[in-house]
Amino acid sequence: MNLDALNKVAEAMVAPSRGILAADESTGTMKKRMDAIGVDNTEDNRRDYRELMFRSKEAMEFISGVILYDETIWQNAKDGTPLVKLIEQAGSIPGIKVDEGTRQLAGAKQGELITKGLDGLDKRLPKYYEQGARFAKWRAVIDPTNISYAGLLANAHALARYANLCQEFNIVPIVEPEVLMDADNDIDATYAVTEWVLKEVFQQLYYLNVPLEGIVLKPNMIVPGKKAAKQASVDEVAEKTIRVLKACVPSAVPGIAYLSGGQSDELATAHLSRMNEIGGFPWKMTFSYGRALQAAPQKAWGGKSENVGAAQAAFHHRARMNGLASLGKWNASLEKQAA
Ligand code: 13P
């Protein structure tokens, strides 16, 4: 392991005014996205859509790294250029989702999930490195309304095992424990569960000797569940998120790159910007958004080649808004000047 090299990559992933594009939807998740815009979920359509983002020079200025799905990291653009090369040419770092989804955790409560993919990971990582990946992602999924210590421990331990293996192969692990926002729990329940999860994750990283200078943390923000009776203000989300992270995340971690988790595009941006405006924490804070970066370009594209320019403009707009949010410099009036 070369910790210096890992740290340089981690720092670049969270460089000011830039953040991460999570374009690592599995084929099944892409089907949902393509269905929503009336496009067939074929390999070529997935390629065309992702290619238009990676070729969007202006948007990619705000994108430090791109998380790819296994299919995409081996794919070529229409003209034969590897998609990974397009990302590198745009000055961005290719990354790879290495988890293999989730399943019911045997022996745990019904509905508690464990993330799969540790078996054989030591064989896959060097191949991904050779293909250009310099960071990876592994997502653990926690339902705040259905959690046991056994489930939490198993997920935190798997995250640490994954992080450890990535570093052995000089790949920066994005450590992603996602507390879901789909239920009806209030914001304080999200806070309490996230605190418990983060404490356990950093404990397991410590036990497995994972140097924190060589990771990036990808947490959820502290928001109430989508079905909660009471939603929270931007200030409350920003303050509670900063507070829980300060209580749990050592300052050796270079940066925090949030998932959007089902927040609206604009709220995901507003929350990030407000946190950076408040400041007073030791890490960089930026985005690692999937839906909150891609919903607009997907809609603008609609599977038609004549819409590529409009899709790139929509992607550029969201990337720029989030780039500003990573500096605490976004405000709602900027949204009206949409591309
Ligand atoms: P969302 O921003 O859509 O939550 O996706 C981020 C991600 O990579 C989840 O694993």
Residue nearest to atom 10 of ligand 1 (CA): 139
Q: What is the pLDDT of residue 338?
A: 57
Q: What is the pLDDT of residue 197?
A: 98
Query: How far apart are the CA of 316 and the centre of ligand 1, in A?
Result: 18
Atom of ligand 1 nearest to the CA of 261: 4
SS3 call for 277? helix
Q: What is the pTM of this model?
A: 0.97
Atom of ligand 1 nearest to the CA of 292: 2
Residue nearest to atom 5 of ligand 1 (CA): 290
Q: Which of 174, 89, 74 is nearest to 128 (CA)?
A: 74
Atom of ligand 1 nearest to the CA of 291: 3
Q: What is the pLDDT of residue 134?
A: 98
Taking the C-alpha atoms of residue 250 and residue 213, their distance in angstroms, rounded to an integer, is: 10
* Catalytic sites, residue numbers: 176, 218
Measured CA to CA in angstroms, residue 323 lies from 47, 63, 98, 214, 318 at distances of 25, 8, 26, 23, 8
User: Is the CB–ligand 1 distance for residue 259 below 6 Å?
Assistant: yes
**Structural domain total, the chain:** 1
Q: What is the mean pLDDT of each run of 10 residues along the chain (339 residues)?
A: 98 98 97 97 98 98 98 98 98 98 95 98 98 98 96 98 98 98 97 98 98 98 97 98 98 98 97 98 98 97 97 98 98 81
User: Is the CB–ligand 1 distance for residue 274 below 6 Å?
Assistant: no
Domain residues for 95? Answer: 3-338
The CATH code of the domain that includes 136 is: 3.20.20.70
pLDDT tens figures, 266-296: 999 999 999 999 999 999 999 999 999 999 9
